[in-house]
Chains A and B, each alone.
Chain A
Amino acid sequence: MTTPPNMTSTEYSEVEERISIASQRQLIWWRFKRHKIALIATSIVIAFYLVVIFADFLATGNPSDSEAFRGLMPIQRLHFFDGLKPDMHVCAVSGERDFKTFKRVYETDCDNKIDVRFLAKGYGYRLFGFIPTDRHLIGMSDSSLKSEEYIFLLGTDKQGRDMYSRLIFATRVSLSISLIGVVLSIILGIVLGAVSGYYGGLMDNIIQRLIEIVRSVPTIPLYMGMAAAFPPDWSIVRIYFAITIIISLFAWTDLARVVRGRFLGLRYEEFVTAAKVAGASERRIIFRHMLPSFYSHIIAAASLALPLMIISETTLSFLGLGLRPPAISWGVLLKDAQNVQTIALSPWLLLPAVPVIVAILSLNFMGDGLRDAADPYSDS
């Protein structure tokens, strides 16, 4: 009855076929694909999280290995060719103390090449937490494994620790704290937002006022107070989790408001009334009918909350209120760069700022793209 009488159904429905079988998710994906910047940003974000998973594999050396005599070494550039011959290597660097200034001075000696190869042997670790191995992405080839030779792709810090490896591990810590924090705040945000929006009335009032109180607390003094309150005997891991929980206790409010708003709107959608009339229970209405329209918004809100988390953690650690050495995070690394000497003499110590900026920008673009793609019905 719907295929017109004078046309075959194949003629009529070729284009329609493709669009009509597409589920909501596919529609969102098609819309997302059109947003080129968001696609690029998403691949960058994926790359970052691959770093989180493969941190050990990507590092060249143990990040906490410190040797005073190789403090503040400059970047050892990775060369791929020796003249015209393909030969991955770095130039050896030797240093000695200048007796007048008592500073270490370094010289690059390119006649002395240190061969570098992929999948080199390095320190041992467990891949994914259970596969023991000692292979790393890049490292010195076995023939050059002498203790005076080293490869510092991004130089070293004051205590002679490999900046490149420290940066990799800092990425792992910073991004995972923020992810856990976001997950926690999503849970809080959804639950409180849903209760607020679905039931309305007094419940809604109380929760909204709570949100306002939480938002009006000035965070830095609060964090300072909390930092002072951490018992000094707490392990790094404990402090890590405590910080995560504290940050997420303040970050859920945005999501809660979004969720509440959507619930309020959805309550009056006709398909919700239709479900009620069909006989659906309240639980089914909330979980099967209302919540699914949120998933894309939640993902979008989450990817926009991540940068905030990253900044929170980085700021806290930068100020000395969050993670402290020997823990490694972007904020901790940047704390070491808080002086004129760094800018003047060892600018490579400022490099941790780069992944912070790139990560935040990428997450923002990705979140924007997701948010725009998430509502295909806004203009259909």
Chain B
Amino acid sequence: MSTDQENQVTETPLLSVKDLTTHFFTSEGIVRAVEGASFQIKAGRTLGIVGESGCGKSVAAKSILQLIDRPGRIVGGEVIYSSPQSGSSENLLDFTPTSERMRRFRGGVVSMIFQEPMTSFSPVHTIGNQITEAIRIHSDLSKTESSELAVDWLQKVGIPNPEQSMNEYPDQFSGGQRQRAMIAMALCTNPSMLIADEPTTALDVTTQAQILELLKELAVQNNMATLFITHDLGVIAEIADDVAVMYLGQVVETAPVEEIFSDPKHPYTKALMTSIPTIYALPRQRLPSISGAIPHPQNRPGGCPFHPRCPSFIEGICNTGVPLLTEFNDSNNVRCFLYEASQ
């Protein structure tokens, strides 16, 4: 861990997802939730994945940890994890979901927190019980030592009266406190990476601010990489270092956060930026909006998935093929015919 502190941005990304494809085989048809998504998460940095419903961001995150249940299945792609300690790389998709390797990985190397904390906690066990269990699964500590560590973590995440809270049940906590407890449970095993799937969407604005600050602090303290999934561009601006924009199962643009906001390249990203209401705008102005609606996932348009709604649509090109990834440099890329031409 100490070597990484000197080298915040290492050359090899901690996790490299390439052409990930996950489909759901329902009786009404195949839902192509993730259709060739690629992104990288670098050690110590936060990648924000932003997109609207149907873009596949949650499914992509769950695919990394192979938490996809039937009728879903990961049908293609690679999830390459490069351990900072040993330097070796392996494709996680080579292991089956129930294998020991994946079980050690989940919670031990990569932890995940979710939008609704109530559903990730067992309602019939105390918070202390559940956190201690997580610690013991991934370490050799004794019961007492794990308990103490759990109390430590409850304190770190800002839960008042940590010793007492150990014996309380999830439904006795408020929404914000439950989210903090979930963060404690996710981080108590010292993972190298945290996946956060819309953790603040269900919280009030003031609570959201507290949780975001907490996550930022803990990421720095533990030199942890974060994959942060959200639909809220404001949250992305607050917390991400790099941003990947997803639409209908594909990553359409990747860039460092400053550039995504100052110079968005993909037409969808541009449209998204201008169509969100902000607190700075003049009131009663008509917002530019993206025409049309997000297609039903079973009705994927042929060609570029965004072409039916794209203001820069080119007949004959955009609806006949899927654009390739155009890479500007190590951290910027776009999937759009407009840029393919100029390459």
Show the binding face of A for B, using Cβ within 8 Å. 1-7, 11-12, 15-16, 19, 34
Contact = CB atoms under 8 A, between A and B. Distances in A.
Contacts of B301: 4, 7, 11
B299 A5 contact: no
A2 B296 contact: no
A15 B310 CA distance: 22
A6 B307 CA distance: 7
Contacts of A1: 291
A6 B296 contact: no
B27 A5 contact: no
Contacts of A4: 291-293, 295, 301, 308-309
B299 A6 contact: no
A348 to B, nearest CB: 45
Given A5-B291, A6-B313, A7-B301, A15 B296 contact: yes
B292 A3 contact: yes
Contacts, number: 39
A108 B38 CA distance: 81
A78 to B, nearest CB: 43
Contacts of B29: 15
13 contacts: A1-B291, A2-B293, A3-B292, A4-B291, A4-B292, A4-B295, A5-B308, A6-B309, A6-B310, A7-B307, A12-B299, A12-B308, A15-B298
B319 interface: yes
Given A5-B291, A15-B298, A15-B299, A34 B27 contact: yes
Contact of B292 (A2, A11, A15, A19): A2
Contact of A16 (B27, B291, B299): B299
A5 B309 contact: yes
A3 B298 CA distance: 16
Contacts of B291: 1, 4-5
B240 to A, nearest CB: 29
Contacts of A19: 28
A7 B301 CA distance: 9
Contacts of A16: 296, 299
Interface residues of B, number: 19
Contacts of B298: 15
Nearest to A19: B28
A11 B295 CA distance: 12
Contact of B295 (A5, A6, A12): A12
Nearest to B27: A34
Nearest to B298: A15
A3 B293 CA distance: 8
A3 B292 CA distance: 6
A149 B310 CA distance: 87
Interface string B207-240: 0000000000000000000000000000000000
Given A2-B293, A15-B299, 13 more contacts: A2-B292, A4-B291, A5-B292, A5-B308, A5-B309, A5-B313, A6-B308, A6-B310, A7-B308, A12-B299, A15-B29, A16-B296, A19-B28
Interface in B313-334: 313, 315, 318-319
Nearest to B302: A11
Contacts of B295: 4, 12
Interface string B145-179: 00000000000000000000000000000000000
Contacts of B318: 6
Interface string B264-292: 00000000000000000000000000011
A5 B310 CA distance: 8
Contacts of B293: 2, 4
Nearest to A8: B308
B208 to A, nearest CB: 25
Nearest to A31: B27
A278 to B, nearest CB: 26
Interface in B16-31: 27-29
Nearest to B315: A6
Contacts of A3: 292
A11 B291 CA distance: 17
The listed residue with most A CB atoms (<10 A of its CB), out of B292, B295, B307, is B292
Nearest to A34: B27
A16 B315 CA distance: 25
A11 B29 CA distance: 17
B319 A6 contact: yes
The listed residue with most A CB atoms (<10 A of its CB), out of B29, B296, B301, B308, is B308
Nearest to A13: B299
Query: Top 8 closest A-B pairs, CB basis?
Result: A4-B308, A4-B292, A7-B308, A6-B313, A6-B308, A4-B309, A5-B291, A6-B307
A57 B315 CA distance: 70
Interface in B59-82: none
Nearest to B319: A6
A22 to B, nearest CB: 12
Nearest to B296: A16
The listed residue with most B CB atoms (<10 A of its CB), out of A3, A5, A11, A19, is A5
B275 to A, nearest CB: 15
A4 B310 CA distance: 9
Nearest to B293: A2
Contacts of A2: 292-293
B162 to A, nearest CB: 37
Contacts of B27: 34
Contacts of A7: 301, 307-308
Contacts of A34: 27
A238 to B, nearest CB: 52
A1 B296 CA distance: 16
